[in-house]
Amino acid sequence: MTVSFEEYAALARQLSEQHRAGEQHAAAESARRRDLHAAVDYLQQRLTAQGQRLDQLGRAIGIDQPPPAASPGAGAGQGTGTSGAAATWPGPPPGPGSASTTGPGSAAGPGSASAAGVGPSTGPGTGDGEPAGAAGTPGRAGVGAYSELPAGEARLALPMAVSPAGGGVPAQRAAAADPAVELELARRMADEADRHGQQAELLAQRPVLLPTWSPLARAVAVYAGCGAAGGVLMLMLVLASGVGLVDGFTLGAWICAGLPAVAFFGGYLVLGRWGRPAMVAGTPPRYPPLGFLICFLLVPMAYCCYLLLVRGLR
């Protein structure tokens, strides 16, 4: 068979085009792999930074790292031995005379036989007068995942997915995941994690006490509340002075200095304990001059109002 020059040139051009197409495909695949590796590295850096930030948030709010949870299958595997593995990956069905060490008869208790074909059997026979053993009971664990094959065919069986109803269907292979799609899903999840992390940081920058208030308004409210509590204590001292339990000098000292100082330090400590955000750079303002002024004015003013009220009722 002779090949003309034109046919030879056409074949050469076809091979050259195929070669160039293969090189272009290889270059495109290489660029795609480089892009995928770059995206994976970027996501890895983002996830590492997110993990470190979450650790900082956990330490800021006083949450320790949870201990690694023990595998639930570890304790079960120690107690059950190798029966779980045998039930998960069943072997081919044994013959009528072969020994079976994974059937229920091997761990039935005293007097039970260790071979499937030995001893009395409650399952159906094989048809030739011999017991069927473990293979004759399709519903038992470890032997019901392989179907009966006729003689003369190769004894190859596909793994079957056993449904809760008892019917076996061939297990479907999982579809190959597209790396680009998986990376896009991971990127979206990382964006969502960043959004939730920013929300957590905003919440962590708010104090427990009056979180929506400004620092100045919070300080005024706390010092005023402590001054009001001091006013209540002042009224109790006034009543005690009326019945002779407290003399006038002690009452005047507590009204002018003692109760205002107690109210001021109480408000200062409350702002330092519950007015401090979980995450804040530096010390939050507690406005000591303002608190001192409020407390040392509120308690004597409350006493003056009490005197005016008592005199007005008389």
The pLDDT assigned to 72 comes to 47
Answer yes or no: pTM beyond 0.85.
no
Other CB atoms within 10 A of residue 274 CB? 13
The pLDDT assigned to 45 comes to 93
- Nearest one of 196, 185, 86 to 141, comparing CA atoms: 86
The string of pLDDT tens digits covering residues 38-48 is 999 999 999 99
From residue 159, alpha-carbon distances to 102, 149, 285 in Å are 18, 14, 70
Min mean pLDDT across 115-129, 148-162, 175-189, 250-264 is at 115-129
Higher pLDDT among residues 312 and 107, named by residue: 312
- Stretch 112-126: mean pLDDT: 41
The string of pLDDT tens digits covering residues 261-302 is 999 999 999 998 898 887 776 777 899 999 999 999 988 898
Please state whether 15 falls in left (phi above 0), alpha (psi between -120 and 50) or beta. alpha
- Cα–Cα distance between 302 and 298 in angstroms, integer? 6
Instruction: Enter the tokens of residue 34.
Output: 């480089």
Query: Does residue 300 contact residue 230 with C-beta atoms inside 8 Å?
Result: no
Q: Map residue 131 onto helix, strand or coil.
A: strand
The string of pLDDT tens digits covering residues 130-183 is 444 444 444 444 444 444 545 444 444 444 444 445 455 555 666 677 888 888
Higher pLDDT among residues 111 and 65, named by residue: 65
Q: Please, is 115 exposed, middle or buried when counting C-beta atoms within 10 Å of its C-beta (0-12, 13-18, 19+)?
A: middle
- Nearest one of 145, 187, 183 to 167, comparing CA atoms: 145
Higher pLDDT among residues 225 and 157, named by residue: 225
The pLDDT assigned to 168 comes to 53
The pLDDT assigned to 9 comes to 86
Query: Does residue 245 contact residue 266 with C-beta atoms inside 8 Å?
Result: no
Query: Does residue 134 contact residue 106 with C-beta atoms inside 8 Å?
Result: no
- Cα–Cα distance between 291 and 223 in angstroms, integer? 5
The pLDDT assigned to 64 comes to 63
- Cα–Cα distance between 311 and 85 in angstroms, integer? 92
Q: What is the mean pLDDT of the chain?
A: 73
